[in-house]
């Protein structure tokens, strides 16, 4: 699940939500690590909007050769290479479970609409292996400060940025250990998670992580070249559906006996309705979530599959959408955003119907191939309940070319830029086709979408590091505790995903909130005080 770290807006002291790569959306068994060792020895993993390459070598007995691993191992006392995959802080940032361990020379890449945008910052700490090596020395590396404690040693992370394939001159330096002080009492090895502000790097495609040390030998740096990262922040929120749990090769269009359902991914709501009737039970409107990979079976029985196979960016899951469905952003408790765009493609059902024809719909182009057919997605925007005049069109199939070789049915994920729609609180997706009959459109009225990206930067001028307001535990069962670091909070309100207030407390009661009368589910917690307005996503079990 994605944690939401709050970020101050100076001009109005309003705190908005950033997209955070937390690694909590990645599955790893308790007390273990994943580093690409397996069938694939060159791989990537992704959290939030960040893709992180990792390389595993099969030479010798096999070893993690470069890039990143993600882990939840907790051991801050064992030194040496056998304790490579642990953070010296003892857990992830904010006591979370998962985090990433990186080697010197690792890169991370912004994906989707975030590519070419800013990384606000991330949290870093030492790997236990590196920290204890610097603290005590080992067979390969010196004890920092030397025998007298006066050696001016340091161990630093240097973050550099790429933009359009060019390495930028600017860099950000963070000292993971620094023994250069005249007063040895000020020397330190970073133990806790610390925030690194990366706004100064500007717009980037990728980041390069270099490690430097004063302890070097004939073969390079002696200090173990490892560090840890968590909560990588960009200012966009992406609905990628990876947070919704599905068994492999399945779909979800309702939950148990619930016939209407809002699927929450990122900060967007994807409504779905399921109808039970004497004529049969069926998915009647909205969205379904799927990871089915069938691109060859025609017909309604293969309704829940993407014609591109995998999700966008080779992810596992995506959404299948019906005609006239709407995605909603709960702006009553969040700033009104711009939806910068999303990836779209055909469903296998619609694509094969257009390609070959079926019992209800024609083959696009007709028998001669010259029929000027098309299948069109139109995205309309709403703000404050009113439909805006602007819309964006995207042809999922187009046979109107005079040269038939240019006719196409979309079979890969295509980025659809929606930023021209401006500020929105919901989007409606309308499908139309040249193939229509007495009862409406004959072409199957379905398409697939992924990585719908929401941008709150229109509401932000200048940003500072994360707020110290802490809400725990999350998920919670019976009670929720609020630590506002002495801030004067005046009210706390809990909203469900439709925006309905379900609970509120005032004054001193805010520090400890009883949840006994609130059903399990996902909620938004709003905290208000003098010049302070914090919104966090919480889970009640």
pLDDT tens per residue across span 203-221: 888 999 999 999 999 989 9
| Tokens, residue 318 | 């995506």
Give exposure, 144-166, as e/b (b: 16+ Cβ within 10 Å): bbeeeeebebbbbbebbbbeeee
Residues 225 and 251 reside in one and the same domain: no
Residues 230 and 243 reside in one and the same domain: no
CB 22 within 8 A of CB 98: yes
Residues 227 and 248 reside in one and the same domain: no
Which pLDDT does position 38 carry in this prediction?
Answer: 47
CB 501 within 8 A of CB 494: yes
Question: What confidence tens digit (pLDDT) does each residue in 193-205 have?
Answer: 887 888 788 888 8
| Tokens, residue 486 | 């002495």
Instruction: Assess whether pLDDT exceeds 70 at residue 28.
Output: no
Which pLDDT band holds residue 13 (cuts at 50, 70, 90)?
very low
Say which range, 20-24, 457-461, 495-499, has the weakest mean pLDDT: 457-461
Instruction: Assess whether pLDDT exceeds 60 at residue 47.
Output: yes
| Tokens, residue 146 | 């030397």
Identify whether 14 is part of a domain: no
Identify whether 108 is part of a domain: yes
Say which range, 92-96, 368-372, 511-515, has the weakest mean pLDDT: 92-96
Identify whether 284 is part of a domain: yes
Q: What gap in Å lies between CA 90 and CA 97, rounded to an integer?
A: 10
Q: What gap in Å lies between CA 123 and CA 427, rounded to an integer?
A: 34
Say which range, 217-221, 239-243, 342-346, 357-361, has the weakest mean pLDDT: 239-243
Which pLDDT does position 2 carry in this prediction?
Answer: 34
Identify whether 9 is part of a domain: no
Say how many domains are in the chain.
3
Say which range, 91-100, 331-340, 392-401, 454-463, has the weakest mean pLDDT: 454-463
Q: H or E element: which one contains 125?
A: strand 121-126
- Quote the Cα angle for 123-32-466, to 5°: 15
Residues 337 and 360 reside in one and the same domain: yes
Q: Which residue has the tokens 């980041």?
A: 207
| Pairing outcome for strands 318-322 and 446-455 | antiparallel
Which pLDDT does position 7 carry in this prediction?
Answer: 29
Residues spanned by the domain of 362: 239-459
Average pLDDT over residues 181-197: 91
Largest CA distance in the chain: 91
300 phi and psi, to 5 degrees? -65, -25
Question: In this structure, what CATH number is given to the domain that contains residue 75?
Answer: 2.60.120.1350
Residues 288 and 413 reside in one and the same domain: yes
Which pLDDT does position 462 carry in this prediction?
Answer: 30
Q: What gap in Å lies between CA 49 and CA 20, rounded to an integer?
A: 8
Instruction: Assess whether pLDDT exceeds 90 at residue 258.
Output: no
Residues 274 and 155 reside in one and the same domain: no
Specify the higher pLDDT residue, 368 or 488: 368
Which of 459, 486, 516 is the last residue before a domain boundary?
459
Specify the higher pLDDT residue, 246 or 67: 67
First and final C-alpha spacing in the chain:
14
Which pLDDT does position 115 carry in this prediction?
Answer: 59
| Tokens, residue 192 | 């806790």
pLDDT above 90: percentage of residues in the chain = 42
Q: What gap in Å lies between CA 4 and CA 233, rounded to an integer?
A: 9
Q: What gap in Å lies between CA 178 and CA 188, rounded to an integer?
A: 6
Which pLDDT does position 39 carry in this prediction?
Answer: 42
Instruction: Assess whether pLDDT exceeds 90 at residue 533.
Output: no
Which of 212, 234, 256 is the last residue before a domain boundary?
234
Contacts of 318 (CB under 8 A, 6+ apart): 241, 289, 290, 291, 306, 311, 312, 448, 449, 450
Q: What gap in Å lies between CA 31 and CA 22, rounded to an integer?
A: 17
Question: What confidence tens digit (pLDDT) does each residue in 147-173 have?
Answer: 999 999 999 999 999 988 889 988 999
Q: H or E element: which one contains 11?
A: none
Q: Which of 39-53, 253-267, 331-345, 429-443 has the highest mean pLDDT?
A: 429-443
Which pLDDT band holds residue 62 (cuts at 50, 70, 90)?
confident
CB 315 within 8 A of CB 45: no
- CB neighbours (10 Å) of residue 415? 17
Identify whether 338 is part of a domain: yes
Which pLDDT does position 236 carry in this prediction?
Answer: 63
Which pLDDT band holds residue 398 (cuts at 50, 70, 90)?
very high
Question: What confidence tens digit (pLDDT) does each residue in 304-353 have?
Answer: 999 999 888 788 889 999 999 999 887 665 567 788 889 999 999 999 99
Identify whether 6 is part of a domain: no
Averaged pLDDT of the chain: 82
What is the DSSP code (8-state) at residue 60? T
CB 397 within 8 A of CB 373: yes
CB 537 within 8 A of CB 515: no
Considering Cα of 214, then 216, then 222, then 226, what sign does the dihedral take?
positive
Average pLDDT over residues 446-468: 62
CB 513 within 8 A of CB 479: yes
Residues 248 and 221 reside in one and the same domain: no
Residues 305 and 284 reside in one and the same domain: yes
Residues 484 and 412 reside in one and the same domain: no
Identify whether 12 is part of a domain: no
Helix, strand, coil percent values for the chain (each to nearest 5): 10, 50, 40
| Tokens, residue 125 | 């700490």
Question: In this structure, what CATH number is given to the domain that contains residue 530?
Answer: 2.60.40.3080
Which of 189, 211, 234 is the last residue before a domain boundary?
234
Average pLDDT over residues 296-302: 95
Identify whether 11 is part of a domain: no
| Tokens, residue 356 | 């070959």
Residues 220 and 305 reside in one and the same domain: no
Say which range, 262-266, 308-312, 331-335, 361-365, has the weakest mean pLDDT: 331-335
Residues 217 and 310 reside in one and the same domain: no
- CB neighbours (10 Å) of residue 378? 13
- Quote the Cα angle for 480-482-487, to 5°: 165
Say which range, 278-287, 382-391, 502-511, 528-537, has the weakest mean pLDDT: 528-537
Global pTM value: 0.55
Residues 426 and 495 reside in one and the same domain: no
Which pLDDT band holds residue 8 (cuts at 50, 70, 90)?
very low
Which pLDDT does position 475 carry in this prediction?
Answer: 77
Q: What gap in Å lies between CA 371 and CA 373, rounded to an integer?
A: 6
Instruction: Assess whether pLDDT exceeds 90 at residue 26.
Output: no
Q: What gap in Å lies between CA 207 and CA 205, rounded to an integer?
A: 7
């Amino acid at each position: 699940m994605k944690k939401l770290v709050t970020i101050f807006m100076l001009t109005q002291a309003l705190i908005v939500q950033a997209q955070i790569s937390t690694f909590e959306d990645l599955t790893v068994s308790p007390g273990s690590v994943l580093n690409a060792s397996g069938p694939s020895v060159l791989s990537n993993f992704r959290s939030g909007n960040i893709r992180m390459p990792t390389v595993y070598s099969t030479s010798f007995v096999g070893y993690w050769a470069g890039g990143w691993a993600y882990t939840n191992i907790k051991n801050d006392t064992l030194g040496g290479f056998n304790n490579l995959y642990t953070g010296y802080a003892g857990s992830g940032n904010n006591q979370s479970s998962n985090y990433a361990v990186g080697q010197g020379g690792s890169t991370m890449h912004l994906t989707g609409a975030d590519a070419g945008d800013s990384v606000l910052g991330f949290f870093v700490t030492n790997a236990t292996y590196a920290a204890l090596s610097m603290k005590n020395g080992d067979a390969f590396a010196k004890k920092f400060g030397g025998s007298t404690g006066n050696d001016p040693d340091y161990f630093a992370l240097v973050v550099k940025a790429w933009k359009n394939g060019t390495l930028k001159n600017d860099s950000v330096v963070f000292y993971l250990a620094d023994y250069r002080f005249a007063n040895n009492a000020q020397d330190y090895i970073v133990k806790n998670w610390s925030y690194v502000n990366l706004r100064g790097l500007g717009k980037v495609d990728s980041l390069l992580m270099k490690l430097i040390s004063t302890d070097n030998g004939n073969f390079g740096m002696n200090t173990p070249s490892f560090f840890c990262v968590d909560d990588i922040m960009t200012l966009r929120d992406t609905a990628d559906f990876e947070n919704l749990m599905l068994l492999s090769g399945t779909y979800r269009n309702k939950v148990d006996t619930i016939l209407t359902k809002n699927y929450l991914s990122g900060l967007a709501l994807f409504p779905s309705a399921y109808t039970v009737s004497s004529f049969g039970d069926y998915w009647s409107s909205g969205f379904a979530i799927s990871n089915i990979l069938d691109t060859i079976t025609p017909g309604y029985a293969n309704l829940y599959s993407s014609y591109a196979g995998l999700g966008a960016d080779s992810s596992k899951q995506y959404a299948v959408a019906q005609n006239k469905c709407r995605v909603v952003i709960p702006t009553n408790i969040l700033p009104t955003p711009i939806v910068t765009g999303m990836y779209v493609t055909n469903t296998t059902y619609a694509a094969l119907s257009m390609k070959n024809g079926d019992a209800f719909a024609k083959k696009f182009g007709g028998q001669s191939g010259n029929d000027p057919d098309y299948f069109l997605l139109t995205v309309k925007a709403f703000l404050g309940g009113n439909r805006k005049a602007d819309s964006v069109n995207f042809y999922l199939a187009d046979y109107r070319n005079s040269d038939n070789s240019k006719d196409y049915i979309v079979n890969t994920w295509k980025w659809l830029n929606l930023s021209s729609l401006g500020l929105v609180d919901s989007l409606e997706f309308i499908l139309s086709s040249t193939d229509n009959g007495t009862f409406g459109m004959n072409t199957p009225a379905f398409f697939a979408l992924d990585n719908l990206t929401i941008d709150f930067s229109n509401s932000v001028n200048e940003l500072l590091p994360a707020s110290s307001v802490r809400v725990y535990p999350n998920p919670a069962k019976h009670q929720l505790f609020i630590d506002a670091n002495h801030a004067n909070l005046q009210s706390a309100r809990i909203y469900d995903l439709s925006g309905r207030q379900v609970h509120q407390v005032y004054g001193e009661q805010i520090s400890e909130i009883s949840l006994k009368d609130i059903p399990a589910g996902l909620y938004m917690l709003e905290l208000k005080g003098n010049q302070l307005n914090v919104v966090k996503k919480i889970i009640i079990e």
